Amino acid sequence: MDLLNTLVEKGLRRELPTREEALAVLATSDDELLDVVAAAGKVRRQWFGRRVKLNYLVNLKSGLCPEDCSYCSQRLGSKAEILKYTWLKPDEASQAAAAGVAGGAKRVCLVASGRGPTDRDVERVGRTIEAIKEQNEGVEVCACLGLLSDGQAERLKDAGADAYNHNLNTSEATYEGITKTHTYADRVDTVQKAHAAGLSACSGLIAGMGETDEDLVDVVYALRELDSDSVPVNFLIPFEGTPLAKEWNLTPQRCLRILAMVRFVCPDVEVRIAGGREVHLRSMQPLALNIANSIFLGDYLTSEGQAGQADLDMIADAGFEVEGAGTTTLPKHRADALAAAGGGCGSQASAGCGSDASAEGAGCGSHTEAGGGCGPCGGHAPVPEPAESAEAAANQARTDLVAVRRRGAGTDLAPNA
């Protein structure tokens, strides 16, 4: 296909595709799917080889969130029967993180529900970061605590944080359909605060909330403009007890197309398959590794994921290798730019966006969540029915794959790592 050849050439040059090209990827047929994956795989291998970065989530504070994000099981008014607990102590969080590091995780993501941290919360998380780094030499730490106030990103960096996650989730045009308690602009502001403090910016999206192809392209282009170093791609987990419990709009094929579009628009950033991969990609997860270069190991914030050992087996069986602690994740030009901006986390591991110093919409590489710390979550806007019909989507519903987390942080049971 001329389209795919063009996208590969642009990806190898870090050149921004046109919106029409990005939309065309999402409109490809199932007969063309393997060609799309192969093309995206060429771009992925150019910048990341066959390495897969492992990240591990620690939910520092679960539930009890005052924000009304429609997709989130921790939202205000959620009836989802998730674990609810207040802040883990630093030693408890460090112990939970150690399980992920022992399983091969290079980055630990510390997440807390809520609109945003108080200064006391920032101090608490700072002590937790110090405890984790003291116990696990060389580990990267990404914080995800919600909307940041002035000076908080700097204090997290001083405490040893390498990155900050705050997802845009969906397009600006449809954001008000997700939440009324904060705005899309609030989220953009927090990502910019993290960047300005020299933290590696991690910001991504949630697919499957009823959005259009145009919405998906809009949010990915916004992520590229924000110059995130890593871009987590979440697939909505329709929790019973949330407003989006009936939103089953994804097929494995559509998930692969979305990942490919993200890779073409953001060619040289860490693209991470985040929440919902087991629910929606299912048996096609190994194929997605040809596009994305990063995944979460084990469980998520409030849901259970694939067994940690199964993740490792999947990576090996698909012909990929786990990225070692001594390897720099990002391509040299991005790692150098981050270091020059005051970052210094050369191995960057969160989700980010492509780089192009000369293309339209540049900024990526040049380095010149509705609702608080809900890390890998989904989003929703009441928009037209997606490409798959409602009837077809209903036939794809796999509620048996949505399992509430009952182990790990906040429990007496061993974590899945």
Kindly state the average pLDDT of the residues 317-340: 92
Mind listing the pLDDT tens digit for each residue in 365-385? 333 333 345 444 433 333 334
Strands (E), 195-302: 200-202, 205-207, 229-235, 270-273, 294-296
Mind listing the pLDDT tens digit for each residue in 387-415? 444 445 444 678 878 887 878 888 888 88
In DSSP terms, 112 is beta-bridged to: 61
Q: Which residue type is seen at 169? A: N
Distance, CA of 415 to CA of 298 (rounded, Å): 8
Q: Is the pLDDT of residue 232 over 50?
A: yes
Kindly state the average pLDDT of the residues 303-319: 92
Distance, CA of 296 to CA of 324 (rounded, Å): 15
pLDDT bracket for residue 346 (50, 70, 90): very low
Residues taking part in catalysis: 65, 69, 72, 109, 142, 202, 272
Distance, CA of 350 to CA of 202 (rounded, Å): 5
| Model pLDDT, residue 40 | 98
Contact 357, 365 (CB under 8 A): yes
Lookup: tokens for 208: 């499957």
pLDDT bracket for residue 216 (50, 70, 90): very high
Distance, CA of 266 to CA of 334 (rounded, Å): 12
Kindly state the average pLDDT of the residues 329-336: 92
Contact 93, 131 (CB under 8 A): yes
Would you call 270 helix, strand, or coil by DSSP?
Answer: strand
| Model pLDDT, residue 246 | 86
Mind listing the pLDDT tens digit for each residue in 95-144? 999 999 999 999 999 998 888 999 999 999 999 999 999 998 889 999 99
Model confidence, pTM: 0.86
Distance, CA of 223 to CA of 308 (rounded, Å): 29
Is the model more confident about 161 or about 72? 161
pLDDT bracket for residue 76 (50, 70, 90): low
Farthest-apart Cα atoms in the chain, separation: 55
pLDDT bracket for residue 43 (50, 70, 90): very high
H or E element that contains 34: helix 33-48
Q: Is the pLDDT of residue 282 over 70?
A: yes
Q: Is the pLDDT of residue 193 over 50?
A: yes
| Model pLDDT, residue 343 | 66
Distance, CA of 337 to CA of 391 (rounded, Å): 48
Mind listing the pLDDT tens digit for each residue in 168-178? 999 999 998 88
Q: Is the pLDDT of residue 189 over 80?
A: yes
**CATH: 3.40.50.1370, 3.20.20.70, 3.30.2350.10, 2.60.120.260. Which one for 2-401?**
3.20.20.70
CB atoms within 10 A of CB 84: 14
Distance, CA of 63 to CA of 89 (rounded, Å): 17
Tell me the CA end-to-end span of the chain in Å, nearest whole number.
41
| Model pLDDT, residue 406 | 79
Mind listing the pLDDT tens digit for each residue in 353-369? 333 333 333 333 333 33
| Model pLDDT, residue 1 | 73
CA distances for 46 relative to 232, 334, 353, 412, angstroms: 20, 14, 15, 43
Q: Which residue, among 129, 140, 190, has the nearest Cα to 165 in the 3D structure?
A: 190
Strands (E), 276-362: 294-296, 321-322, 351-352
CA distances for 30 relative to 25, 127, 283, angstroms: 11, 49, 16
Mind listing the pLDDT tens digit for each residue in 318-329? 999 999 988 999
